[in-house]
Amino acid sequence: AIVSTMEEEEHIKFEMELESIVESDDFTIFNQDDLPVGGFQVMEDIRRKGKLCDVTLKVDDQCFSAHRIVLAAVIPYFNAMFTHDMAESKQKEITMQGIDPSALESLINFAYSGKVKIDGANVQSLLVGASFLQLSKVREACADFLKHRLHPHNVLGIRTFADTLACWSLVEASNRYLQKHFVEVSVSEEFLNLSFSDVREIISRDELNVQSEESVFESVMAWTKRDLDQRGHNLPELLTKVRMPLLTPQYLTDRVATENLIRSSHECRDLLDEAKDYHLMPERRPLLQSFRTRPRCCNDIVGLIYAVGGLTKSDG
């Protein structure tokens, strides 16, 4: 008892001496920067050993074990599921729908490691999965991957895919690429398989990068002839979006006027006559202005440049 009392007195004396050295309101904060990363790495190691896992995600016939706290911390979808009074918050096995098994596995691994491999084989399923799980950064990374791989033969499919997922940055990038490379896109299988409404919307754009309106006219004819029985009746409406007055007189005469589909439709012939009048009566052009006489922003309108010059007396 005597020894214990002496130890207590020594401890009190030490604390009093320490207080005299350091002010009570003086402090510092120690920060171990690698702790969060290291902690997640340890949890990933524990998960791979099948220990301490408290939830199993099932897709089709595949199951993936994980920790609720990690999923909730990283993936907004699971945060909402586990932190609200939902039935799944208490279930040990949760059946997932609307997501590819391999994509789910990759995104679970991402929750632990912060890394995910994106390639041509998995980018679409990952983008769908990231959208479903509300992983905005992964979704953005997938969109960027596709933006750098746009091609005349895939841009329309990617645009439709992005539109379905409301991935607007990818939709906009696809539209810009489509407009810049319209001539190449217009001969692709994707273009020839477009719906009538999509073709009409595309060829209506001022931003199409075409050297002449011939490219637009030919794209309409090719699309129509791909399935003439089903598409022939759409030709007059599509031609209203082609800026035929901007076609050259020679092209109008040699190509448009000799096309059987044009000759057999009075609506198409009316549009052809309008274009011819635009060239035959230049003095009336101010009265003939319309959507179809407005040049596209990237269209090269053929014109003439007159150079006037000569020698002055001082030049000899």
> If we measure between CA atoms, which residue out of 280, 186, 162 comes closest to residue 238?
186
Mean pLDDT score across all residues of the chain: 88
Using the predicted structure, report yes or no on whether residue 163 has a pLDDT greater than 60.
yes
Structure tokens at 104: 């789910």
pTM, two decimal places? 0.80
> If we measure between CA atoms, which residue out of 129, 294, 134, 270 comes closest to residue 204?
294
> If we measure between CA atoms, which residue out of 268, 237, 236 comes closest to residue 252?
268
pLDDT score of 220: 99
pLDDT score of 5: 66
More confident residue, 132 or 9: 132
Q: Which CATH architecture has domain 162-300?
A: Alpha Horseshoe (1.25)
Residue 36's pLDDT band (cuts 50, 70, 90) = confident
Per-residue pLDDT, averaged over 91-96, amounts to 94
Using the predicted structure, report yes or no on whether residue 268 has a pLDDT greater than 60.
yes
> If we measure between CA atoms, which residue out of 216, 268, 218, 263 comes closest to residue 243?
216
Residue 302's pLDDT band (cuts 50, 70, 90) = very low
Using the predicted structure, report yes or no on whether residue 157 has a pLDDT greater than 60.
yes
Domain ranges of the chain: 162-300
What are the φ and ψ backbone dihedral angles of 63, each rounded to 5 degrees?
-125, 140
Residue 283's pLDDT band (cuts 50, 70, 90) = confident
Residues 6+ apart with CB under 8 A from 28: none
